[in-house]
């Protein structure tokens, strides 16, 4: 477990070893009775070439965000 601090602009730095293991720079942030949660958003480009997808990267990213937001409610 690592303790981190928030700066005056509300930014929290995630330690490098955790950032590298996450494999993403985008998160859904939500708060519930247990606390604040960061849910990593997968990078849709990692699937490129493995599936035939008729949507843009942006559309896939928005759809993933919508699903995660729906799950976190």
- For 39-68, what is the mean pLDDT? 79
- Supply the mean pLDDT for the chain: 85
Backbone dihedral angles phi then psi of residue 12, each to the nearest 5 degrees:
-120, 130
pTM beyond 0.85, yes or no = no
61 Cα distance to chain centroid:
10
* Highest mean pLDDT pick, 21-25, 33-37, 39-43, 61-65: 33-37
In the prediction, which pLDDT does 22 show? Answer: 86
For 25-36, what is the mean pLDDT? 90
Q: Which two tokens stand for residue 40?
A: 């990593």
Domain boundaries, the chain: 25-71
CA dist., res. 5 & res. 20, Å (int): 19
Q: Does the pLDDT value for residue 46 go beyond 90?
A: no
């Amino acid at each position: 477990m690592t303790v981190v601090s928030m700066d005056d602009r509300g930014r929290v730095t995630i330690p490098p070893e955790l950032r590298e293991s996450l494999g993403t720079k985008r998160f859904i942030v939500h708060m519930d009775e247990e606390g604040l949660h960061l849910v990593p958003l997968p990078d849709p480009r990692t699937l490129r070439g493995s599936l035939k997808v008729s949507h843009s990267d942006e559309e896939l990213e928005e759809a993933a965000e919508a699903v995660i937001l729906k799950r976190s409610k």
